[in-house]
Amino acid sequence: MRAITYSQTGDSSVLTLGERRLPEPGPGEVRVRIAVSGVNPTDWKAREGGRPFSFPEVTPNQDGAGTVDAVGAGVSSVSAGQRVWVYLAQHERPTGTAAEYAVVPAERAVPLADDASFALGASLGVPAMTAHRALTVHEDGPSRLAPGALAGRTVLVQGGAGAVGHAAIQLAVWAGASVIATVSSDEKEALARAAGAHHVLQYPSETLAAGIRELAPEGVQHIVEVAIADNAAVDVEVIANHGTIGYYADNGGDTFSAAVRASFAKNVRWQGLLLYTVGETALAAAAEDVSAAVADGALPVGGDSGLPLTWFPLDETAAAHDAVAAGATGKVLIRVSDED
Ligand SMILES: NC(=O)c1ccc[n+]([C@@H]2O[C@H](COP(=O)([O-])OP(=O)(O)OC[C@H]3O[C@@H](n4cnc5c(N)ncnc54)[C@H](OP(=O)(O)O)[C@@H]3O)[C@@H](O)[C@H]2O)c1
């Protein structure tokens, strides 16, 4: 099979295309014929050395979609021929999705609705599961998402045109929340609206907090936060009593500070989250709810749905990584086969 690999960390030039033996699934594993590989910031950050490199050779990319091709002993959740979306393919293992086949633990290959494209499937993993977690860690909120689960609640998505932000808007709208998103430009405002955000405000702005308070006088219950270092002060100002600020990234800086009294007076929950360490229970819940949202048609991708797709062929995986590292708007995907 054709596979992209790297055997030392570094810039994208460490990625090479080569022929590798077809991997066999072991007990509890499945082999997926990859149609589309999804690229996330974590993939280039890992390749640059941001995570421990503990294998002689790694195929990058956590997310993907394709067709189950072989199942190992004891697997009953999926069968050969089934269309699936794949998450955390390369977590603690060397077999990511930038290859014609990937062997993954069976639970990380999730059935994909028949009418959902592989492009959609490959866009789910990291972004949608992160967004799911951010929306389900509220002290008094639901731990699962479904239509109506967030009814009567207001969600603020900071960075609503990012991949995670886009998924957070779509999932929150599906679950019945009122959604306010922030973006940095008119172009991104159009994307956040296309994703379904009810209100979109632009940053940076001196009046951002006032604008959010005007839309949500009682405060917002949930904040999905990409840039806590930049936004902590605004977040504390607009959060409702007992609200949760779910922060998942260090865009904007490595440390943050916040007003202590204003924060504890509102019983604020500062909730960090990292998909790699969130735990199997949270991952399984996210996979199930995200699949239900896909089946409901609630997570479309593409420019008309607020997530423009940028495609690369497998042999240009390095360029795909560079595009994500440069902050490409929308979703960067790698076409591994011609299957849709
Ligand atoms: N913890 C986890 O498990 C986890 C999971 C997924 C992703 N991440 C991390 O989350 C980050 C985003 O990932 P992604 O795939 O969504 O990337 P992305 O598609 O590049 O989106 C990042 C978004 O953040 C916005 N942004 C930057 N600074 C902002 C600010 N001060 N206020 C509001 N928005 C701001 C950007 O908009 P502008 O450039 O227009 O400002 C952009 O829309 C990455 O650092 C990634 O590594 C972490």
Q: Which CATH superfamily is domain 128-276 in?
A: Medium-chain alcohol dehydrogenases, catalytic domain (3.90.180.10)
Atom of ligand 1 nearest to the CA of 127: 6
Closest CA to ligand 1's atom 42: 162
Find the 158 Cα to ligand 1 centroid distance in Å. 9
Instruction: Answer for the pair 224, 156: CB distance below 8 angstroms, yes or no.
Output: yes
Peptide bond into 147 cis (omega under 30): no
**Which positions ≥6 away from 159 have C-beta within 8 Å?**
165, 182, 183, 226, 227, 251
What are residue 202's DSSP bridge partners? 183
What confidence score (pLDDT) does residue 128 get? 99
The region, left, alpha or beta by phi > 0 then psi within -120 to 50, assigned to residue 104 is: beta
Instruction: Answer for the pair 133, 286: CB distance below 8 angstroms, yes or no.
Output: yes
What confidence score (pLDDT) does residue 314 get? 98
- CA distances to 17, 56, 73, 97, 248 from 3, rounded to whole Å, are 6, 15, 25, 9, 30
What confidence score (pLDDT) does residue 340 get? 85
List the CATH code of the domain at 2-123+307-335. Answer: 3.90.180.10
One-letter amino acid for residue 90 of the chain:
Q
DSSP letter assigned to residue 309: E
Q: Which residue among 123, 135, 157, 164 is best mutated to probe the pocket of ligand 1, counting the most ligand atoms within 8 A of its Cβ?
A: 164
Query: Could you give the 3-state DSSP secondary structure of residue 165?
Result: helix
Instruction: Tell me, using a 6 A CB cutoff, whether residue 327 lines ligand 1.
Output: yes
Closest CA to ligand 1's atom 43: 162
What confidence score (pLDDT) does residue 145 get? 98
Looking at the chain, the domain(s) classified CATH 3.90.180.10 span 2-123+307-335, 128-276
What are residue 3's DSSP bridge partners? 18, 99
Instruction: Tell me, using a 6 A CB cutoff, whether residue 246 lines ligand 1.
Output: no
What confidence score (pLDDT) does residue 53 get? 84
Relative to beta strand 269-272, strand 239-247 is: parallel
Find the 161 Cα to ligand 1 centroid distance in Å. 9
> For each of the chain's 340 residues, which pLDDT tens digit applies?
999 999 999 999 999 999 999 999 999 999 999 999 999 999 999 999 998 888 999 999 999 999 999 999 999 999 999 999 999 999 999 999 999 999 999 999 999 999 999 999 999 999 999 999 999 999 999 999 999 999 999 999 999 999 999 999 999 999 999 999 999 999 999 999 999 999 999 999 999 999 999 999 999 999 999 999 999 999 999 999 999 999 999 999 999 999 999 999 999 999 999 999 999 999 999 999 999 999 999 999 999 999 999 999 999 999 999 999 999 999 999 999 999 8
Q: Which residue among 170, 202, 226 is best mutated to probe the pocket of ligand 1, counting the most ligand atoms within 8 A of its Cβ?
A: 226
What tokens were used for 107?
């639970």
Q: How far is CA 257 from the centre of its chain?
A: 26
Find the 213 Cα to ligand 1 centroid distance in Å. 23
Find the 249 Cα to ligand 1 centroid distance in Å. 7
DSSP letter assigned to residue 307: B
Distance CA 56, CA 140 (A): 46
Instruction: Tell me, using a 6 A CB cutoff, whether residue 40 lines ligand 1.
Output: yes
Distance CA 199, CA 232 (A): 20
